[in-house]
Structure 1
């Protein structure tokens, strides 16, 4: 099991920023595809209302720009840096811890599960890009924006 994980990890770390965005931009929807049928069994999911034009613009700015940036700073950057510094956790523990906290603040249950899996990918992306020349905050915020955009467009 470790061999395939290390091969994938090595490939992802070697990708150019654009290739990384494309690969992770697709990967970030895997939790949605896997867990979407659970909304049938747990119907207390999102209550989607048809927004008016002003609400749509507000939601778009809030959910596609502001929330991804703030959540990246809080749930990836702060959690990873603080727990690495305080407890010396390795990267795998930091990814899982960040994802657990990220998932816990989202609701309802199915959304928490999706947010946990998405949080793993975002935390992993942050860890990769904090060691590269590019900005980890920018990369993770961009991936999070890609993840949130359809929620606003299709609601």
Structure 2
């Protein structure tokens, strides 16, 4: 299986940029950035270090359902602070396991304490399917004696 480093290199250029937000910024700003960049979550950073993550799910469950406003609520009030991260040496399989076990949709990639990428469950599933398809192709060739 590929490593996180290999997977990050395969992402097209526009998807290699990690869009982030600061904890003191308002939730409305986070929502606007997520909509503009067509992403479902933003790592919350301070000096390039991940201190949290905010997602559309956090907005829906922690603001909307409680009747709070995104205009006057800082990101730090609703962000998840116990962020699970991976490094570039982890395998796609390991990352899928982490995301499945912890019910995560986004996994920040950190190297030497600095945020360098963000993987979505879609990124990982797409790669796992591609790897399985290649294995099936190779097995079919073996069976046919090619």
- Measured against the shorter chain, the TM-score band is under 0.3
Q: TM-score, normalising length from structure 1? A: 0.26
Greater helix share, 1 or 2? 1
Greater strand share, 1 or 2? 2
